[in-house]
Structure 1
Amino acid sequence: MIFNRLRAIWKPELYHGWGKKNKFFEGWYYKIISKDQDYAFAFIPGIAMDENGIKQAFIQILDGKKLKSNYIKFPFDEFKPNPSVHDIIIGKNRFKTNSIELNLPDVKGKLIFNDIVPWSKSFFSPGIMGPFSFLPFMECYHGILSMNHSINGELIINKNKINFDCGRGYIEKDWGHSFPLGYVWMQSNHFSKSEISFKLSVAKIPIKGFSFIGFIAGVWVNSELIEFTTYNFSNLRKCSISKEEVSIEMDNNKYKLIVKAIRSKSTKLAAPIQGFMDSKIEESMNSKIDLVLIDKKINKSIIDDIGSSACIEVAGNYSLLLK
């Protein structure tokens, strides 16, 4: 049990709940977009334990085009994680880094993911959390399984066969006991060039009696992941949030990042609070992100593009993030 928990520190894609009995959640987020972008879904398998030790497994489905969501509960003993590789079974459904198999009342089929683009990692920075991965008292941890990949396969959704060949996908995860006090999160890998992918989050993070604004952004371009994070001495220069848009600026010693996200209609999703999925957040899958990445040395834009089928969440007391 202890070995499984230690191994998961350096493999954040794995299950982290070994030995946990209460106040814990873990969920994996699979974003699925068809080639023509007419279909946008998120499939979120996970588990939740409340403060009294009541446990459940779940699969949450977000239909980004129809603005609908569905939360399907399973007995906890139907959740079967592999301790060595990312391979999660919930009932008759299976979730891996390179595939998903769904056998739900209204969703059936299998999708294969190719050309996975993971977040960078090292011994002292096991994933997107960097050195914060080693702190045992964080409220919420985060991981990236794939910044960008292609999709092959089809799903039968509400008796309609949908082909996802040559679609695009993205996979991330969260675990802990609650989402941050306030946060903004966004992602798109539908730019004019298929090899561009972008992810950003800014959050108010409490740690043992004090709190700070943490941020993470990654731009995958030209086969390189450019990172802006709290722990690599990047700077958050601006964070402005309104009902219509989110504007954020960051920089590091080489690059400047300018982001303007245009918000669109959103859908309610279940979210964790003290381990159980009793809170609500709202997510859009139809937004647009205006992304500019500037090489500071030559003062030239590497990217000046608009990402579509963008996901955006603005949740909690986001006024804490304004700058």
Structure 2
Amino acid sequence: MNFFRSADRPYFEGWYFKHQTPQRQTLALIPAFHIDGGGRPAASLQVISNDKSWWLEYPAEQLQVSRKPFQIQLGQSRFGTQGIDLHIQEKGLSLQGALRYGPFTALRSDIMGPFRFFAGMQCSHGVISMGHALGGTLELNEAPLDFYGGIGYIETDRGRSFPSKYLWTQCVWGGPERGSLMLAIATIPLPAGGFTGCICSVFYGGREYRLATYRGVKIEAWSPAAAVIRQGKYRLEAKLLCERRQALRAPVEGRMERTIHESLCAEVRYRFWRGKDLLFQHTDPNASFEYSPAG
């Protein structure tokens, strides 16, 4: 699919592929396309490791996207429901190899709920897989990464710009009490005012718990290092304990001009209550955490 032939307004769309090894090595990839206010298209790939990030630019014609089946071709690399196949050789970055994905854990419904129908939304979020098994190996600058027995996560964003102020955290873990969660809080501008919105999905014990503004969630607190939300008898707390931030680029009216900072491998403690019962407490060194103040 060619996104660029009829562009008449700023737009971006990107996909976030996160991969974790059992040895706590993590790699995320963000293929994306963007169209500025002048209708000029471009494509990009951001690569994030435990301790470094890279930004790669591509001509727009080197990007092809299929919705069904979901597949992205960017340069010589492919991303899709079956896995990824990478052939990247740039100055300062060599990334080669292939990973295969197990079945995706999909949400029951769109995480945006009725917000997906708001034409004026600055940015819309999507979750493609809350967790899936990994197999295969990659070589990052001649260092091997073994993802056999690992776990992955995929989400997407699209719109004109990232919110001016937002918090995002994500975590997926295996073992006997496996689980996954994604939480995002952001200021949402609208033509007539705006509001602070929240979307959250928690997978635990074989079921999904959905907490969101459109379901009556209350944001009790959010800051650069923590968030607390409550919906009825459910309460989720996320607390950042340690972070290693990497600089990334984010869209402003379709242009990738904003610098944000994400901790791909942050240590975050999550606690989730149902009434007075603590359903789980999980502290993970491979959690992702990002907070961007209004600027």
Q: TM-score, normalised by structure 2?
A: 0.93
Residue 85 (structure 1) aligned with residue 91 (structure 2): no
Residue 101 (structure 1) aligned with residue 80 (structure 2): no
The one-character-per-residue Cα deviations of 1:118-162 (angstroms, maximum 9, x if unpaired) are 1221xxxxx111111112221001000111111101112112222
- The alpha-carbon distance between structure 1 residues 35 and 218, as it changes in their structure 2 partners (threshold 3 A), is same
Distance 2:291 2:67 in 1: 33
Residue 303 (structure 1) aligned with residue 272 (structure 2): no
Letter in 1 for 2:251: P
| Cα distance, 1:175 vs structure 2 | 0.5
Is contact 2:134-2:147 (8 Å) kept?
A: yes
Letter in 2 for 1:311: S
The corresponding residue for 1:9 is: none
- The alpha-carbon distance between structure 1 residues 62 and 194, as it changes in their structure 2 partners (threshold 3 A), is farther
Q: 1:110 aligns with which of 98, 102, 107?
A: 98
Residue 199 (structure 1) aligned with residue 199 (structure 2): no
| Cα distance, 1:99 vs structure 2 | 0.9
Is contact 2:4-2:41 (8 Å) kept?
A: no
| Cα distance, 1:193 vs structure 2 | 4.5
Residue 53 (structure 1) aligned with residue 39 (structure 2): yes
| Cα distance, 1:269 vs structure 2 | 0.3
The 5 Å alignment of 1:135-146 reads 135-146=118-129
| Cα distance, 1:22 vs structure 2 | 3.6
- The alpha-carbon distance between structure 1 residues 159 and 149, as it changes in their structure 2 partners (threshold 3 A), is same
Q: CA RMSD in A?
A: 1.9
Distance 1:17 1:137 in 2: 21
The 5 Å alignment of 1:276-291 reads 276-291=255-270
* Corresponding pairs, count: 291
SS in 1 for 2:148: coil
The 5 Å alignment of 1:148-187 reads 148-187=131-170
The corresponding residue for 2:195 is: 212
SS in 2 for 1:189: strand
- The alpha-carbon distance between structure 1 residues 84 and 179, as it changes in their structure 2 partners (threshold 3 A), is same
Residue 33 (structure 1) aligned with residue 20 (structure 2): yes
Residue 257 (structure 1) aligned with residue 236 (structure 2): yes
Distance 1:166 1:302 in 2: 26
Letter in 1 for 2:16: Y
Residue 273 (structure 1) aligned with residue 252 (structure 2): yes
| Cα distance, 1:192 vs structure 2 | 6.1
Distance 2:283 2:218 in 1: 23
SS in 2 for 1:104: strand
- The alpha-carbon distance between structure 1 residues 23 and 286, as it changes in their structure 2 partners (threshold 3 A), is same
Distance 2:158 2:4 in 1: 8
In the alignment, structure 2 segments of 5+ residues that lack a partner are: none
Is contact 2:177-2:205 (8 Å) kept?
A: no
Distance 2:287 2:7 in 1: 34
Distance 2:255 2:80 in 1: 24
The one-character-per-residue Cα deviations of 1:140-189 (angstroms, maximum 9, x if unpaired) are 01000111111101112112222110111111110111000100101111
Residue 44 (structure 1) aligned with residue 30 (structure 2): yes
Distance 1:80 1:72 in 2: 16
Is contact 1:263-1:284 (8 Å) kept?
A: no
The one-character-per-residue Cα deviations of 1:253-290 (angstroms, maximum 9, x if unpaired) are 24222222224120100110110111110001221221
Letter in 2 for 1:150: A
SS in 1 for 2:69: coil
> In percent, how many aligned pairs have the same letter?
27
Letter in 1 for 2:192: G
- The alpha-carbon distance between structure 1 residues 149 and 18, as it changes in their structure 2 partners (threshold 3 A), is farther
Is contact 1:236-1:251 (8 Å) kept?
A: yes
SS in 1 for 2:121: coil
Is contact 1:49-1:55 (8 Å) kept?
A: yes
Q: TM-score, normalised by structure 1?
A: 0.85
The 5 Å alignment of 1:120-135 reads 120-121=108-109, 127-135=110-118
Distance 1:304 1:16 in 2: 43
